[in-house]
Structure 1
Amino acid sequence: MANKAIKYRVYPTAEQNIMFSKTFGCCRKVYNLMLSDKIEGYKATGKFPDVTPARYKDEYPYLRDVDSLALANVQMNLQAAFRNTFDRSRKKKNGFPKFKSAKHSRRSYTTNNQKGTVAITDN
């Protein structure tokens, strides 16, 4: 069976809006932290270190409040950006990954549905 993607337009409640805003901000924060650590690690050792979102949860406790799968997907997106940058077989060359801006970044994130954690209700 092939994977399916379905796009919905949702009208969240005020409480859900707050949760979405927190998740957008945390995803951007984790992406920028991981990119910064990769750059600093390369300057220090000449190799890009492996970084994970769990590494930042002690320093930034508010990261524990948002969906951990969204943060894991941010890590995978950053890994894909690095892979695309340094892949010699690609015809179109991608530039080095850029930091996400609070003002100009797209307010979206990807999560995974595990055991019905994401649901559409008719209310």
Structure 2
Amino acid sequence: MYKAYKFRLKPNTEQEIALAKSFGCCRWFWNYSLNLCQETYKTTGKVLTRNYIQGLLPSLKKAYDWLTDAYSQC
């Protein structure tokens, strides 16, 4: 039998804002990467690797300053 633990987070207002920014940046990067993978597959028939997609992040952070709001170690 497996045990499960559930935790309820009760962030204060400042933490809620930080979480919302972080989730927003992660959601944007996910959608950007998904679109890039789909378009690449449609045009070339090849798939992009995880390492290639992760390699795009530093240049995207330079192009979009607001991406640095998200924690990089999540």
- TM-score interval for Structure 1 and Structure 2 normalised by the shorter chain: 0.7 to 0.9
Question: What is the distance in 1 between the residues matched to 2:5 and 2:63?
Answer: 35
TM-score between both structures, scaled by the size of structure 2: 0.73
Is there any run of 5+ residues in structure 1 with no aligned partner, and where? Answer: 71-123
Residue matched to 1:68: 72
- Runs (4+) off by over 6 Å: none
Instruction: Give matches, 1:17-56, under 5 Å.
Output: 17-50=16-49, 51-52=53-54, 54=57, 55-56=59-60
TM-score between both structures, scaled by the size of structure 1: 0.47
Number of equivalences: 66
Identical counterparts, % of pairs? 39
Is there any run of 5+ residues in structure 2 with no aligned partner, and where? Answer: none
Higher RCO, 1 vs 2 (CA within 8 Å, ≥6 residues apart): 2
Give deviations 1:32-86, integer Å, cap 9, x for gaps: 000001011112221012312614212222111111133xxxxxxxxxxxxxxxx
